[in-house]
A = this chain, B = another copy of it.
Amino acid sequence: MEHLEQQERQRVWEKIQKALLNEQIDQFRAEFLELHPYDQARIFEEQEEDIRFLIYTYLSPNEMADVIEHVDRDLVNEFIIEMVPAFAAKILEEMSTDDAVDILNELDKNKVASFLTIMDKEESEEIKELLHYEEKTAGSIMTTEFVVIHHQMTVKEAMRHLRKEAPDAETIYYIYVVDSDKKLVGVISLRDLIIAEGDWLIQEVMSERVVSVPVGEDQEEIAQMMRDYDFLALPVVDFQNHLLGIITVDDIMDVMEEEASDDYSKLAGISEVERFGDTAIQSAKKRLPWLIVLLFLGMFTASIIGRFEEALDKVALLAVFIPVIAGMAGNTGTQALAVAVRSISTGDMNKIGKATVIWQEAKTGIITGTVCGILITGIVGFWYGDLYLGILVGISIMATLFVATIAGAFVPIVMDRFNIDPAVASGPFITTLNDIISMLIYFGLATVFMDLLIGG
């Protein structure tokens, strides 16, 4: 994705490239440091190894940290490992603690230990603490670089403190207030702070109703909360309400993107999100587990049809409608599934109630089933001139759509009840389940009405 205008970007890129090739450090720095770190990272990623080593000598660890924070997470380890360890450690020191932790989490244990040894003591302690938190919880996405003020400071003192801390803090737009036990007691926005009188006490102007999250909270819940309350940052506390860190909105946008990709991939039956740069073998490995499970489920469907071989021997035409009936069952099931999974994850499900959702889906299934059933009865009856066959296929579609729609909503609701992520009930799984249901209905009806079919 190109965000600077294409042409402008091209021009700047060429200037920078030229400066690098001619080893003109001043020209390079002048152009490169003017760019947003996102663009710096795009340029840096495109360089060959020898040019990258040049850049490591041209930039300070602090400047390089900005670049590394914006480099694609799948490439960053390679860069960190190729650097002189002392330089890499300095960069990790300069980065936001939460980003440094993200990177270290992907490295092998020995490397992490050696970086932590070289690093500044204070910073490495902070990182070590964050490394303990479970992935996808508040603890793992929070940062410990935030501004905190005491409730008995005056507004003037707070502003002075803020000016001093601003350059290192992740955000200064929400300032959290603690008491002498370091417990969170309030919050004040910079907006309110700059319009308050200088000699007022913070505890008089702060808001006491501060919303916080426990350190073990799931990141998806936090994203939902930030979106609902329009927060720019959220404080993270332990069970005694001590302030541990803050989560900022830019990290939450990454979480939202990640969770959306995750739900989307699961609906399509991919166990793990595929990444930019995966090889074909890696992609195949991620897809095969599901495909093999579905293959065995498919063989089960085959064995069910096998039981009706007698009926098939008598009326071979029956086979012709297998894909359309199984397919419609799969389609309607996937629709119902998607609606249910989405309304569980947005919380709408709790507002409406599970029984209501299933009842609603049952009614929807009756409507879609009746419409499609009547349509296909007409088409088959007319096309093959066999009204009985038409009615058989029509009733099968109707019954199938009804059952498959309910199944699509029921499966994720049951999973959610047992605390399994409902998104695991992917489209292909529901589709294969509904294949089985639909074949039982179709061939069951065909067997019962066999006399009419042969007579017709």
Contact = CB atoms under 8 A, between A and B. Distances in A.
Contacts of A4: 211
A267 B264 contact: yes
B173 A280 contact: no
Contacts of A93: none
A372 B431 contact: no
Contact of A309 (B3, B268, B316, B331): B316
Contacts of A427: 267-268, 334, 427
Most buried by B among A230, A252, A268, A343: A268
A284 B250 contact: no
A415 interface: no
Nearest to A226: B253
Contact of A299 (B159, B352, B376): B376
Nearest to A343: B276
Contact of A302 (B34, B250, B302, B323): B323
Interface string A355-390: 000001001100110011001100100010000000
A331 B291 CA distance: 7
A432 interface: yes
A364 B288 CA distance: 10
Interface stretch (A55-63, A121-129, A190-198): A190-198
A412 to B, nearest CB: 12
A338 B3 contact: no
A422 interface: no
A109 interface: no
Given A38-B229, A190-B173, A253-B226, A323 B301 contact: yes
A338 B195 contact: no
A260 interface: yes
A64 B453 CA distance: 67
A183 interface: no
Nearest to A225: B3
Contacts of A327: 294, 298, 301, 326, 330, 428, 431-432, 435
A295 interface: yes
Given A298-B324, A309-B316, A265 B194 contact: no
16 contacts: A1-B228, A38-B230, A166-B194, A227-B257, A249-B249, A265-B338, A267-B267, A269-B335, A287-B364, A290-B331, A295-B376, A298-B324, A312-B316, A312-B320, A319-B319, A331-B428
Given A195-B166, A280-B364, A323 B435 contact: yes
How many chain copies?
A: 2
Contacts of A167: 195
A254 interface: yes
A348 interface: yes
Interface in A253-300: 253-254, 256-257, 260-261, 263-265, 267-270, 274, 276-277, 279-281, 283-284, 287-288, 290-292, 294-295, 298-299
Nearest to A375: B295
A42 B316 CA distance: 59
B375 A292 contact: yes
A350 to B, nearest CB: 7
A269 B36 CA distance: 39
Nearest to A172: B191
Interface string A1-22: 1011000000000000000000
Nearest to A348: B276
Contacts of A323: 298, 301-302, 305, 322-323, 326, 435, 439
A339 interface: yes
Given A330-B431, A331-B290, A338-B265, A322 B324 contact: no
Interface in A31-51: 34-36, 38
A162 interface: yes
Nearest to A334: B268
B320 A302 contact: yes
A264 B269 contact: no
